[in-house]
Structure 1
Amino acid sequence: MILHNKTALITGGASGLGQATAQALVEKGARVFIFDLNEELARVTVSELGADNAGYAVVDVADEASVEQGIREAMEAFGELHLVVNCAGIAPPAKVIDRDGNPLPFSKFKKIIDINLNGTFNVLRLAAEQMAKNHPFNEDDGRGCIINVASVAAFDGQIGQPAYAASKAGVVGMTLPIAREFARYGIRVNTIAPGLFRTPIAASLPEAAIESLSQGVEYPKRLGRPEEFASLVVTIAENDYLNGETIRLDGSIRMAAR
C-alpha cells in the first residue's frame, strides 16, 4: 500500500504508541483520524499534525454506538478508510487472589477483556465494513490493512496479568482467522506484540526502575522507542505480502514470572 493520500484510523492515537504512529503516517503523506477518550490530548495531537491531515473523535472502543458514531465522523472527515491501527488498551495489575486473600473482582477482569479484546474487534469489524467498499488501490485488488496491537504478555504473561495476557492472547488468536476471512475483500490483518516501550506510563517511572526493566531486554539494553513501533506499522502497511502474522517487537525479551 502506498500511504500517500490514504486514510488511517488510530485508536488510542492521542498518546504513546498511537501518537507516534499518527506522526509517522502523516510524514508518509497519509491522513489520520484518531479515536481517544482524552479529548484534550486528541485536540493537541491533531493541532500538531495539522487540521488538513488529521481529525479526532472521543470514542469508547468497547461501546458499540460510540464506535459507530466515530466511524461516521471519520468517513465524513476523509471519505475513505484504508488503514486501522488498534492501539487503545489498558494494563492494570490484577492478581487472581490478592495479598489479603480476596479474589479478583469479576467486573475488573471483564473490563480489561472488554477494552483490549472486545474493543479491538469492535473497531476492526466496523472499519472493515467501510474498507470493503473501497476501490482497489493495487494490482492485487487490495482495499485495506488492519494492524492490531497485542503484547508479549500474550506469550509470556506475568503474575498479576491473567486478564491482560488473556485479552492480548485473544487478539493474537483472532489474527489469522480474520485475515483468512478478509482475503476475499483484499483486506490484510496483522498484529504487533510489543515488549517494553518508553510510553508516557513508563516515562513516569523512576530512572532506576526503567534501567532495571531494560536489563531484561537481550539487545538493545533499553526500552523500545515509540517511533520504532511506528516504523513497524509503516512497514506492515506498505508490504502487501505481509498478512495473517503476529510480530514480536521486543528486543528479544522473554518476560520472567514476576
Structure 2
Amino acid sequence: MPWINHCWHVPLYVSARGLSTSLIPHASGSFEIEFNFVEHRLEIRKIDGKKASFTLESMSVADFYGKTFDRVKQLNLEIEIYSLPVEIPDPIMPFPENNQQAPYDAEAVHQFWKALTHAQRIFTQFRSNFMGKVSPVHFFWGAFDLAVSRFSGRTAPKHLGGVPNCPDLVMEESYSHELSSAGFWPGTGFGEAAFYSYAYPEPEGYQDSVIKPQDAFYNEELGEYLLPYQAVMNASNPDEILLDFLQTTYEATAVNGKWDREALEK
C-alpha cells in the first residue's frame, strides 16, 4: 500500500462479513484479504476473479502465517510483511517460528464482529458531523481497537514514542497534528470491553470537563476517558449515550484546546 498519513494505509475495516484490508493495489492485479467471521474463513480475492481461502480454526501463528502465504503464492501475488509482532511488550518470536497453539472460539469471534458493526455504525454517524480532517473508521490490529480521529489542523508537539516494538517514527508521524480520538476496545487497554476517548496533546482543563453519560470517567493511568461497554449495553438507548460520550469528550478537547469550531464543525 502507498504510505498514507498517520499510518492510515495499514488498518482493517469492518465489512459485511468481518474485517477487511479493503482493496490493495498490486502490479499483478489489486486484491483484498478478508477475515470472514460469518463462515470463519480467511479469504483472498483478486479483481480478475481468482480467489483462495482457508478455514479459521485453532492453530499456531506459524500455521496461520504459512497458510496465508501459500494462498498468496497461489494467486501469483508477491508481497512482503514485517514478520515480528508490534505494539506488544514481549513478542514471542517471528510469525513463521511461533508454533504455540492458539485457540479460535468461533462464537466469541462472531459476537465480537457484531459488536464492531454497531460501533462502526455510530462512529460513522459521529464522523459525519465534522468538516475538518477526520480519519476513516478503521480497526488497528496493533492496539486491537476500532477508532476514529478528528484533527484541529494545527501541528502538535513531537510524540515521545516508547510504544513496545514499534519504531518511534511511526508514533511521531501518527501524532504529528492535534487530534481528538475515540474508539472501542474489546478488552485490550482497560482490561474489559470499553469505549475510549483521548486528546493529543491533552489541553489544560480537559480532565475537569463535564462528560456524558454518568458512567463515563477519566482514567489517569491511561490518560483517557472511558465508558464501559456494559453500561452502553444496559442503556435504554445505547446509541444515544454512546453519541453523548463521543460528542462531550470531543468538546472537552475542542473547547479547552481552543479549536476553530466554527470552521471545523457542520
Q: Same fold, TM exceeding 0.5? A: no
Q: Which structure carries more helix by proportion?
A: 1
Give the structure-2-normalised TM-score.
0.30
TM-score for the superposition, normalised by structure 1: 0.30
Q: By percentage of residues, which structure has more strand?
A: 2
Using CA pairs under 8 Å that are at least 6 residues apart, name the structure with larger relative contact order, 1 or 2.
1
Q: Mark the structure with the bigger radius of gyration.
A: 2
